[in-house]
């Protein structure tokens, strides 16, 4: 039989070990200005995930930039990728990019996805749709191809957003060829507006205008990689990468020229010389908000859930640079406050979504990328 002193020491050691082990396993609590949060890692092993969509039955779709569409069921990654995708060119910043559900998904099971597609002249952003049946796509149709194609590996965009009237908006980059963003006969550097089947709406701003691509809704955009509908107004908000500084947030409106590369708050990489004609010019829109230096914005979402009541109505933007999440407080179309957190906590944040459960979900753009969930600490 152990002596009482030895027994007490053993029990004390056991209690201390248990407490230390439990502390090590407990989720880290992160304090922000309005809410204390914790991070729950749901899935790992994703290769450069780019976008996330929530299915009505609780499953989730995640795109991987190398060209795979993955299903998550019961917080587990389904081993086999979703089958039936068209040819995808994983080149530079391109590959499989955004994914979105048709507004009538419950009835038609249609999903939409953007990707870098090969063709005559090189590659460009394309958009296709298909019917999701179990773990494969049927009746896949390409409904949009950015023209002309080129051989660069930069600035593909691309976010897909349906508005309340069920028009589809496609955000495009300038493909690293900046002058294309001001060309009327070029899709690059613009926002595209289509019917859900790819037809051009008759009231698009440049329909019937000689020399203009009728699908264009805007021009003068450098590289839009975040877009979301404002929960109150229903308008499309988007952000775009500036060069060295000059990342912008804009409200996307018909026929507006957002200025790139004629006006910008950024400068040329490395050498820091000015770009274009300055920061303002008549007939070109000023950004609602901009960052100098750049934060390299990624996905974004307006928070409208119930889990974080003091965040309701705020705009959340992922930032690849400094690996952080940015929260913007809004008063109408004015940014009245900015908070940055999660700096270097989870990695490069690629997508930001408000889930149907009211939590905030993030994807990390890594070789071993993850889907994580932000939860309040009550």
Catalytic residue among 35, 155, 187, 241: 155
The answer to whether the Cα torsion of 103, 188, 48, 65 is positive or negative is positive
Q: Which residues pair with 125 in a beta bridge?
A: 116
Per DSSP, the three-state class of 311 is helix
| φ and ψ at residue 310, rounded to 5 degrees | -80, -5
Q: Which residues pair with 223 in a beta bridge?
A: 173
DSSP tag of 208: T
Per DSSP, the three-state class of 95 is coil
Residue 240 CB neighbours (<10 A)? 29
Element (H, E) at 30: strand 29-31
Residue spans of beta strands (DSSP E) within 104-244: 110-119, 122-133, 136-145, 160-162, 168-171, 191-194, 224-229, 236-240
Half-sphere exposure of 317 (CA within 13 A, CB side): 33
Closest Cα to residue 190, out of 199, 198, 181? 181
The answer to whether 155 is a known catalytic residue is: yes
Q: Which residues are identified as catalytic?
A: 155
């Amino acid at each position: 039989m152990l002596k009482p002193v030895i027994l007490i020491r053993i029990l004390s050691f056991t209690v201390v070990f248990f407490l230390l082990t439990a502390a090590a396993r407990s989720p880290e609590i992160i304090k922000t200005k309005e809410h204390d949060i914790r991070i729950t890692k749901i899935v790992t092993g994703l290769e450069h995930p780019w976008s996330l969509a929530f299915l009505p039955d609780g499953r989730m779709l995640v795109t991987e930039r190398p060209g795979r569409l993955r299903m998550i069921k019961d917080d587990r990654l389904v081993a086999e990728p979703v089958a039936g995708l068209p040819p995808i060119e994983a080149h530079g910043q391109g590959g499989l990019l955004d994914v979105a559900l048709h507004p009538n998904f419950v009835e038609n099971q249609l999903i939409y996805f953007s990707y870098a597609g090969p063709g005559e002249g090189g590659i460009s952003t394309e958009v296709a749709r298909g019917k999701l049946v179990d773990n494969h796509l049927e009746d896949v149709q390409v409904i949009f191809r950015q023209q002309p194609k080129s051989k660069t590996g930069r600035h593909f965009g691309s976010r897909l957003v349906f508005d309340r009237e069920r028009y589809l908006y496609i955000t495009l980059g300038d493909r690293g060829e900046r002058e294309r963003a001001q060309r009327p006969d070029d899709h690059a550097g613009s926002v595209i507006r289509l019917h859900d089947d790819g037809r051009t709406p008759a009231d698009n701003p440049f329909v019937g205008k000689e020399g203009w691509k009728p699908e264009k809704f805007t021009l003068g955009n450098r590289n839009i990689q975040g877009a979301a509908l404002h929960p109150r107004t229903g308008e499309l908000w988007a952000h775009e990468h500036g060069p060295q500084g000059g990342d912008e947030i804009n409200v996307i409106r018909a026929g507006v020229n957002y200025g790139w590369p004629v006006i910008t708050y950024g400068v040329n990489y490395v050498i820091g010389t000015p770009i274009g004609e300055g920061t303002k010019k008549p007939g070109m829109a000023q950004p609602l908000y901009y960052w100098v230096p750049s934060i390299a914005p990624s996905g974004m979402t307006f928070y409208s859930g119930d889990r974080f009541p003091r965040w309701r109505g705020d705009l959340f933007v992922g930032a690849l640079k400094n690996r952080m999440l940015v929260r913007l407080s809004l008063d109408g179309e004015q940014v009245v406050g900015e908070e940055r957190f999660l700096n270097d906590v989870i990695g490069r944040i690629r997508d930001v979504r408000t889930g149907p459960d009211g939590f905030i979900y993030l994807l990390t753009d890594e070789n071993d990328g993850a889907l994580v969930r932000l939860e309040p600490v009550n």
